[in-house]
Amino acid sequence: MVHSASLCACLSLLSVLSCHSHVLPRLSFPTGSPGRSLSIFTNPDVYNTTTLLLSNDEGTLFIGARDSVLSVDVSQTDAMTMKEKLDWSPSEKDLADCAMKGKMKMDCHNFVRVLQELNSTHMYACGTFAFSPRCIYINSKTFSMATGPSGKPEEGRGRCPYDPYQKNTAITVDGELYTGTVADYRGTRPVISRHLSEGSHIDLKLDDTLGWLEDPTFISSTYVPSEEKVYFFFSETGKEYDFIDKFTVSRVAQVCTSDVGGQRTLQKRWTTFAKAQLLCQAEQELPYNILQDIVSLSPPEGTSEDETLFYGIFTSQWQVNLGRSAVCAFSLKDIKKVFNGHYKVLNRDTLKWSTRVQEQMANPGECGLHNASDNTLRFVKDNFLADKSVRPANQGLTLVSPDKSYSNIAAQRVRGARGRDYTLLYLLTESGYLHKAVLLKNGVHIIEEIQVFHQPQPVKNLLLSVSKGAVLVGSSEGVISVPVSNCSYYWSCAECVLARDPFCGWDPVMKLCTDIHAHDHLVQDVDEGNVSVQCTYMTPRSRSVQSRTLSSEVVSVSLNEVVHLQCPGASHLAKRHWERLNSQLSPKIYIQSDDGGLSFVATPSTLGHYLCQSVENGYTQTLVAYNVKQKSSPTVPPATLNRPHSTPSTETGIKTPVLTTRPITPEQTEPTPKPDEVDPTVTPKDSPAATTRRSRNFTRLLGMEKEDSRMTEPGENLQQADTPSYFQELVVVSVLLALCISALLTIAFNRFRHLCPSKTVPQTPSSRRDVEKSGSATPQERESLRGNSPCLEKRNGQAPNGQSHNGQAHNGKSPITLSNSMLNSSNGHLPNTPI
């Protein structure tokens, strides 16, 4: 029973993996591709532009870089220009002190890691500042440093990490700063704290001695106004799983913005801190337990804030899922339900976690506990880990990338042409590609991928500007703006519908694919992508790609030349195939490569028209058409034509006869037939005209004027025009060969008998080697065996029928050659005999 259960689990895992493997981007746009325009902001004096902040009107982008803070104009979607630059560099003494601590000079710069808007007039920035974090105020109007309450730059400990490679998160709520970072030089004291408190609020942090955090990696934070809570997302070591050493789990933690700490117990400490596990796991699979990035998506208008979704990217520490990424969605409703449930309790003596069995004195994580009794606060201090885990909203994985590791994510909701809302995800891979995916009822459709980085970047930031319609990506190379829509790229109704992009729809009046918000009554089918239904009333020119492929591209080739035909890919989801009119492409003749190309040898039967077609989502369209023709030349030079054996063709149903070698005199030459005369696709293959045209082509290649004049015209008996079969040729050649060999043996026997009259028994010249080895061979016999006898000399200089052959033959052999049409002639002469 155990073995069968394990086997079922393995089969289920394989089936899940196979289902995930088909999620591929439909289109790919490499860097510099003309089909996808990008805006890039770079400056030779600016480095590590990784911290991004948009102004309220989203017309200005503030960038936290290395040793500086920038103000960039992004009001135009196709350009980014720097407005101002604020220098914030460590002094030489600060750099020297950092080097004395054993740090590399490159890491001792000031890397801005916190950039938040405090109010309408000021921003707040914190940087690593040579491993001595500092924070400053920035006047948003003049873009200059402002004096804080202390009159000098503030210490950034607990607000910004020391190490520029240490991850952190920060968010401002009503002018107060909530951060998740480390509070010491070595990075061993993680802390979630509040700073810049105003009014009755005081700065708060976690109790370092309680083990509320276990070596966390902070990812993100968000504020939910209806709950008056700040949620922190991070990964840490799960101490509750004591049977696995250093098992990483993903967490969501909460604190209330109204918390002011306890009066005696938990003074200046959080009284509302609670955390729970985020479980991104499919059934019968190992969990994706390491959180990489997470973003919140507000609910649709008119719905409860409980419908807020959090989309997170997860990876796995297990070898079976190595190199894979998963996207899971968690709802605020499920998170609240887990925090309102039971909690685990930590035994301080054994450091073991167990489900709480004692009486519940309070609900951990509930706001307003700062006025509670000391017993209640001690209870919530020991009971901060929720017993249940938060599972995905749809009870499964939203997306699994089989071969891409995602690092950052952004999400937005878009209303389509039919009034339905769609969720779009923007996923940044570690290899530097941005994936644009739409979530559908039956799965995920990745619309496109855009390469934004030449080289993978270790630190990135992804920011979405909804009003400007752009995704902003920050890296060490600069900031790249990617438009969220690319409707003009789709040049037909079919392509516009197959893209399944909620931003794009086909305009039947203007005959173009345009933004869905610019026009009404556009054609769109995001859910199904059914072209035959959506584009039925369009003209053929609008519904297909005939406007591009109606005219065939002429390819001129020589016979026996290897032809390579290329087929452009319509999309990664389409399957390409080649076709010829009224014929099938035999795999014995044609080779179709993985990139869609077609290769074959040019013969009279393979000349003609070729169509490359693609099938996507049940719709077939022609991508390219070729007309393969034979190269035309004015005359055929008086030389020997060597034609190889042809291969039977499935397109024409005939075989090209074997053409043997014969000399062609200048009087017999004719102009090379035109390509259309050897094109088997011009007329039906079984018609008399087609048979006549093929026969004429063959006879013209052989230079038989007389035979050409005797060819059968349309309407006459076609039996005489048919070329002889291979069996007839074999019989004739075999008979002639036998006669020649008999004549040679007879002449040789008589010659040796005349030279050696004393011999009673003539010797048969079976082998030159045997005679030469014997000592009794006469000089005349040796000369005869070497081919120097008068008889052999006469044969080498004369054709078998007695006619001269230009005084020589090929390699000393008799040029006995035959032609199919010559064997079928009625003139009564032997081959090569002038008429």
Q: HSE-up of 603 (CA within 13 Å, CB side)?
A: 22
Q: List 515's β-bridge partners, or say none.
A: 504
Which has the higher per-residue pLDDT, 782 or 703? 782
> Residues in the chain, how many?
835
Domain ranges of the chain: 107-454, 487-543, 545-693, 726-823
Transcribe 227-271 into DSSP letters: TTEEEEEEEEE-TT-TTSTT-EEEEEEEEETT----SSTTTTB-S
Interatomic CA distance for residues 802 and 819, integer angstroms: 19
The answer, yes or no, to whether residue 714 has pLDDT greater than 70, is no
pLDDT in tens, 476-505: 888 999 999 999 999 999 999 999 999 999
Cβ–Cβ under 8 Å, residues 70 and 86: yes
The highest-confidence range among 227-241, 725-739, 774-788, by mean pLDDT, is 227-241
Beta partners for 137?
Answer: 124, 146
Sign of the CA dihedral 570, 575, 580, 582?
negative
Is the confidence at residue 623, as pLDDT, over 60? yes
**What CA–CA distance (Å, rounded) separates 740 from 746?**
10
Dist. CA 234–CA 273, nearest whole Å: 14
pLDDT score at 754: 66
> What would the mean pLDDT of 256-285 be, rounded to a whole number?
92
Question: How far apart, in whole angstroms, are the C-alpha atoms of residue 235 and residue 238?
Answer: 9
For the beta carbon of residue 455, count every other beta carbon within 10 angstroms. Answer: 9
Class of 545-693 in CATH: mainly beta
Is the model more confident about 706 or about 78? 78
**pTM of the entire structure?**
0.73
CATH hierarchy code of domain 487-543: 3.30.1680.10
How far is the C-alpha of 139 from the C-alpha of 136, rounded, in Å? 10
- Among positive and negative, which fits the CA dihedral 350, 353, 358, 364? positive
pLDDT at 251 over 50: yes
Distance, in Å, from the CA atom of 148 to the CA atom of 492, rounded to the nearest integer, reads 59
Quick check: 392 and 398 in contact, CB under 8 A? yes
The answer on pLDDT for 416 being more than 60 is yes
Strand order in the sheet with 461-465: 39-41, 478-483, 470-475, 461-465
Look-up: residue for tokens 């955390």?
275
Extract the tokens encoding 12: 């289920």
Which of 83-92, 414-423, 539-548 is the most confident on average?
83-92
pLDDT for 726 equals: 60
CA distance 304 to 302: 7
Question: Is the CB of residue 554 less than 8 Å from the CB of residue 560?
Answer: no
Closest CA to 66 of 99, 34, 91, 89: 89
What pLDDT sits at residue 800? 39
- Which of 641, 667, 664, 702 has its CA nearest to residue 824? 702
Average pLDDT over residues 586-606: 92
| Geometric angle at alpha carbon 85, from 83 and 87, rounded to 5° | 175
**One-letter identity of residue 272:** T
512: CB partners within 8 A, 6+ apart = 488, 506
Could you tell me the two tokens for 342?
Answer: 């039971």
143: confidence class by pLDDT, cuts 50, 70, 90: very high
Q: How far is CA 441 from the centre of its chain?
A: 24
Rounded to whole angstroms, the maximal C-alpha distance in the chain is 143
Distance of CA 4 to the CA centre of its chain: 38
> What is the edge-to-edge ordering of all strands in the sheet holding 406-415?
27-29, 443-451, 433-440, 421-429, 406-415
330-383 residue pLDDT tens: 999 999 999 999 999 887 777 788 886 666 778 888 898 888 888 899 888 888
Calpha distance 679→677 (Å, rounded): 6
Residue with tokens 């079984």: 686
**Cα–Cα distance between 88 and 153 in angstroms, integer?**
11
Question: What is the signed CA dihedral for 354, 357, 363, 365, rounded to 10 degrees?
Answer: 0
Give the count of beta carbons closer than 10 Å to the beta carbon of residue 127.
32
Predicted confidence band of residue 768 (pLDDT cuts 50, 70, 90): very low
Residue with tokens 């409980």: 306
The pair of structure tokens assigned to 271 is 């009284």
Number of C-alpha atoms within 13 angstroms, CB side, residue 104? 5
Q: Which two tokens stand for residue 493?
A: 């109704």
CA distance 477 to 497: 36
Burial degree of 474 (CB within 10 A; 0-12, 13-18, 19+): buried
Q: pLDDT tens-digit profile of 373-411?
A: 888 998 888 889 999 999 999 888 999 988 889 999 999
Could you tell me which residues come within 8 angstroms of residue 344 by beta carbon, excluding any fewer than 6 positions away? Answer: 240, 353, 354, 355, 356, 383, 385, 386, 387
Beta bridge mates, 126 = 114, 135
CA torsion, ordered 382, 385, 387, 390, to nearest 10 deg: 160
Has residue 659 got a pLDDT over 70? no
Bridge partners of 329, per DSSP, are 311
Other C-beta atoms lying within 10 Å of the C-beta of residue 244: 9
Q: Rounded distance, CA 672 to CA 656, Å?
A: 17
Burial pattern 482-516, b for ≥16 Cβ within 10 A else e, equals bbbbbbebbebbbbbbbbbbbbbbbbbeeebbbeb
Measured distance CA(603)–CA(60) in Å, rounded: 65
pLDDT in tens, 205-236: 987 767 789 999 999 999 999 999 999 999 99
In whole angstroms, give the CA distance from residue 83 to residue 773. 101
Instruction: Kindly report which listed range (263-277, 592-606, 715-729) carries the lowest average pLDDT score.
Output: 715-729
The SS3 of residue 111 is strand
Instruction: Give the tokens for residue 494.
Output: 């079919």
Q: Which fold has domain 107-454?
A: Methylamine Dehydrogenase; Chain H (2.130.10)
Instruction: For 45-54, write each residue's pLDDT tens digit.
Output: 999 998 999 9
d(CA 718, CA 52): 82
Q: What percent of the chain has pLDDT over 90?
A: 50
- Residue 611 to residue 549: CA distance in whole angstroms: 9
Q: What are phi and psi of 543, to 5 degrees?
A: -85, -15
Distance, in Å, from the CA atom of 63 to the CA atom of 53, rounded to the nearest integer, reads 6
Q: What's the pLDDT score for residue 552? A: 83
CA distances from 336 to 414, 680, 716 (A): 27, 74, 92
Q: Cα–Cα distance between 449 and 454 in angstroms, integer?
A: 14
**Average pLDDT over every residue of 92-99:** 94
Residue 350 DSSP label: T
Specify the pLDDT at position 301. Answer: 86
> Encoding tokens for residue 731?
């019989």
Token pair, residue 383, equals 């009971």
The single-letter DSSP state of residue 305 is: G
DSSP 640-697: ----PPP---TTTS--PPPP------GGG--PPPPGGGS-TTSS-TTSHHHHHHHHHH
User: Residue 614 is inside which H or E element, if any?
Assistant: strand 608-616
Tokens 């918390």 appear where?
259
DSSP state of 83: E
Q: What is the mean pLDDT of the chain?
A: 78
Residue 741: both structure tokens together: 């060999």
